[in-house]
Structure 1
Amino acid sequence: MLKDFFINLSIFSFFVSAAIVFQVFTTSKGLKSSYLLGGCYASIVAVILMFFPIRYNEFLYDLRFVPIILSFVYFGHRAGWMTAIGICIAHVYIGGYWITGVVILGGTIFLFILLESLIKNLPSIKRAFFYLAIHFVVYSLIVETFSDASATMYFHIAYYLFVLIGLLIGIFLIEAFHKLHRLTQDLSRLNQTLAESRQELKDTVHEQQGGIFKFKKENESFIITLCDGQLYAKSGVYLEQVTGKDLNSVAPLHFVPRLLKYYQRAWEGHEVTFELPWPNDKIYIFISLRPIKREGKVIEVVGSAIDITERKKMEEELRMTKERLESFISHNTDAIIISDLKGHILQANKAYEKMLGWSIQEIKGQTLPCVPDFLIDRAFETIQKIISGESITTKLETVRQRKDGSLFNISLTLSPIVDSKGNVIAISTIYRDISERKKVKRELHHLHQQLKESEMKYRVLVEHLPDAVYLVELNEDRYPSRLLEVNPVGCERFGYSREELLSMPYADIVPQNSTMFIKIVEKISEGKCSFTLEDEFVFKKTGKKINTEFNVRVFNLNGKEVLLLISRDITERLKTEELLRKSEKLAVVGQLATAIAHQVNNPLTAMKGFMQLLKLTENENNQRYIDVVLSEMNRIEGITNEYLTIAKPQAVKIQLNDLHMLVDQVITLFQPQATMNNIQIRSEFESAIPLVACEGNQLKQVFINILKNAIEAMPIGGDVLIQVNKLDDHQVCIRFIDQGCGIPKERIPHLGEPFYSIKEKGIGLGLMVCYKIIEAHQGKIVIESEMNKGTTIDVILPFNLLSYQEVH
């Protein structure tokens, strides 16, 4: 059994190693380069392994599932399927208990595919062992369920160990190859970089524009042994002219004392550098002397000379530039850092300390300390792009981390710092804190979303509003010029589509001689920005007439003055109000019926008695009784006519009326009921009260409602005073003062609302009708009351009614 173990593992190791060798000598790509090739090879290996099984009693097992697992892990599920298909074909060909083997294979492959999405992000080794565990579970379940002969525990352990060792060998060889492959690639890149660096150094030395020379000391004289370079060639000094000659014969005489001092110091073993004007005062050279020693003794000195004339000129410019740059960096409100090509911080300004919390001493030499861990790779990628020249200046918005660990939004600008040759030698980075800007941007976005939602809501509201809505632009003269917006109800009323209305001049839509149009223009010219009007409006195209209520508001929209009109059809409402007025009058007449009947019966009784006396006695004294009868009959006729006047519908007619007469008629009407309730009605009129333009019957209805309420508020009797006074040259006040129970202050603001009543049997429509009538007469009603002391109601009317709105 151990021999079979060794043979199978050796065969398997050989084929894995052969695949790796083949991979090394054929391509530089990884094993995942071809799933087709990998699947075919894995299926061949698995089939070969099936011909070398390990026998245990009547059971056989081999390493066929190891190639399947490795193909799934390293080549993908398609290669795994190919391997499984090859095994199935071989299983059928070999024969034996092939059904159990196929079931184990199918169950294992099914679970591999099913669970692949869950483990696809795991490392290769972990996935391999995960697949192995799945196979062991499937194998154990199916063998124990479908096999005719039961295997021992020893058999299972031997099989598990066998497959595990095979998988470990395969993983080890493949991962070792991957590791070695990566190391080889890294070494190759390193050698290439080294060769490039050597060549670059050689080219730099070869192309330098300075000069190189050597000398040695013989017999207290310094002999030149080498002199070469562009510096000397430009000056007319060549190798053959100076080689082997003494310094005194080569250098200008006025330079010799200084040169001897430096040369002697170098010969004594010191490295010497100095600057020298040569060959004249306009050109400066920099000389470096380095001794070459052998066994501790200087045998030669090597010197280099470079022309630093331009450098001397630039030093002054650089000094001034440096001062300006340092001042700019130090006093800049943005954080500025300078880093080398590996990200090490070289310099930072005070704004960096303030913004991120690190001092300059703390961050010097550190590698991008403010970059969060999850952004470090991206930061190095950006630096590499700048170094490689892919990006000259990079601007982006990202996140950085303060010393305390908090993150904040910044605007980042990275720029290369280049030398005179254009080589990138450092990176400058400017940080600008944009946290507030981001916050404002988010808030603006949120507001924008809210505005869009509000716009949608208002548009839906306007589109489905039962009232017509018009938005009209005003010209410089504050005159309506054109429609800016209209809802479907407005389009329907005018008989045009929305597009037609928005393209038409306002004068073609609304007649300029319309009463409503004239009123709106007058209100706007008076400077009113919000008002309500009621009128009958005739639509120009359809000829349709409707009673409308216009709510008008003037405001500015996008720098232009506009007019918002909401038109409501109040035809039905006016009809309802008219019906309410009639109902109220009928209710009043009904409540007065008892008093009228009582007062009518008394004079009728008197008339009957006197008429009987007239039959018995015929003399001149009968004339007095006849007069009484006639007087009582006239009184009955007056009361009856008043009731008929109130109850019978009449056309509305505005004319001048005498308030004295109207009030007296109402008092006459209520005098019987007042007498029955022990109430005295008195009236006081100021002299010279002019006639009032009004509808007499409607004003009498108002007075009747108020007087009726006053009588009902005094169940135990009292006085009701009616005063008529002029307020000024334009208004008159009719005041009703009673001594009733009063009205609570919190209820007074609600009086006049429909169906709001403080009486037990009231329906809340009487005062509403009164308010409407007086409002139509351009007047107002003012109510003051105190509990248990009485109520005062002022009806204020203008003398001349300029315009009148019929109250229906």
Structure 2
Amino acid sequence: MKKETQANSMDTNEENINNYQFAQDDPSNLMNTIFSNITEGIIIFDSKGKIVDVNPSICITLNRTKEDLIGQTLESLVPKEKQFKIEKQWEILSYKKHVKGHLPIINGESIIDFDFTTSTLVDHQLYVSILRDVTEKLLLEKKVKKNAELYEGLFLEALDAIVFWDNETRVVNANEAACKLFECSLDELINKKLNDFVYKKNAPYYSFIKTLKDTGSVRDETLFLMPNGQKKYVEFTSKLYAVDGYHMSIFRNVSERYQMEQDLRESESRFRSIFEGALEGFVLWNDHFEIVDINPAGEKMINVPKAHIVGRSLKNILSDCEYPQTELHEQIRLLETDGKSSGTINVTLNSGENKHFEFSTKYNVISNLSLTVFKDITEKLELEERLHKSDTLNVIGELAAGIAHEIRNPMTALKGFIQLLEDSVTDKNAMYFDVITTELNRIDSIINEFLILAKPQAIKFVEQDIRVILTETVNLLNAQAMLHNIVFKLDYSDDIPPLFCEPNQLKKVFINIIKNAIEVMDKGGTITVTATTTSDSRIHISIRDEGFGIPEEKIKKLGQPFYTTKDRGTGLGLMVTYRIIEEHKGLIEVESEVGVGTVFHIYLPESN
């Protein structure tokens, strides 16, 4: 109705303009009133397109004064790319009295769209154009067109299934993707109830139905049974009263994803079971070498709670363990090139206990995480070392038995003849006699040490005060110490219980260690001997010298057959010492600093 009124108005205006001359001659004429008050814009121009008059409406629309517009040409009001429409208008007016069309006019920095009708004023060779602003109308048309295109893209061509349904859950419309999802045509799908497709109406089903009623929308997943009997796990979003009073649901088939998630969960469950239950230590770390998890066995091995190690850098931990940087760089290189690496590492735990670990690393095993598997081989190495020592001792024992047997007989003869010659030795040869006697005694001592290694000795254990054994040993060596300008400092605790031991064997141990201490203190000094008890019910004896010390790499070899740090030593003394302490279920630890001195720590179990 509004359009008809506007059309009639334009026709009326055209007729009124034909009487333009009368309106000019008679200002009181009705035509002049219409010209001045009509809502459409009016432009009157001559045969050259020059504007001769305009009404107030067009001035208001273009935000320009009448004086500013009169004298302008039509071309000056129209954008250059649209000026061909002016030429087209002149062409049509050459054979017709009326022409209609659409014309954009410049309005400052913007453009206003007008529908126009131009007529010829024959008597005066003038032309009149009636213009109506249709900018909003065009914008609305564009919006409608855009919405139509949006509907086309979102609904008809959407990859996700879209279904509209009524209050009874009956399908009223669906797109092509929905037909593919439900494995049927649109005609077959229409009027079907969505509820009928739900495989199980269980607690989760009633939960999302309640959410939908309470909030008007819901997003969830469920299992659908399709008309062809196929089961599909679908993800859906539903909204009540979405379009024209109908409800809308958007479905997506996530069966493959659901199955992958199920497989992944099962895989992770299996991995977690292995991870948590493994006897070896497992450590997971990311690309930044940050530890993200450690299993219970690993916690137990390193004696560090999981909370204190997760998040720490594996590189920093290895640095704290004094792992060689060159070895660390080599391990990283192997990981980057081969995807795996392995090795051993020596670690000092917070408790002070020294541990050896064997490890192997696999790069990027799961979700950009790498796995390091490690196990404690401390006992294995100690066992191997004991076996090696045992094998060596067995060989030495067999060798010692043969050597002792072969040497002792001629030694006995030599000693006998030396004793016979003792009375005939002159002062001139006395020095040689003493040297021969001393060296024969030295050989005899070595043979005795060999014999100790060759076969088990008859040992009789008795309860004895370790302080008495230490004091007797010190008194025995005191004269030798004084010759080297060395003094003893004794420090015994009062609460040391009796020790179940073989006194003579322990005395031999203390003699060997103290004699070694005297020999390395060529400038004199103090040998400190202490005896205390430990918290774990052991007796701790320490013998400290102020000698030149032992390098760390040599400490590990002490007690090995024929290994000695002395020029004329055989290494058998310390070997016998270690063996005696082992027979007493004890332990020897050596602490030394080059240029400062050495401490032998001997730990023996208290008597039960």
TM-score by length of 2: 0.35
TM-score by length of 1: 0.28
The structure whose RCO (Cα within 8 Å, separation 6+) is larger is 2
Q: Which has the higher helix share?
A: 1
Q: Which has the higher strand share?
A: 2
Decide which structure has the larger Cα Rg and report it.
Answer: 1
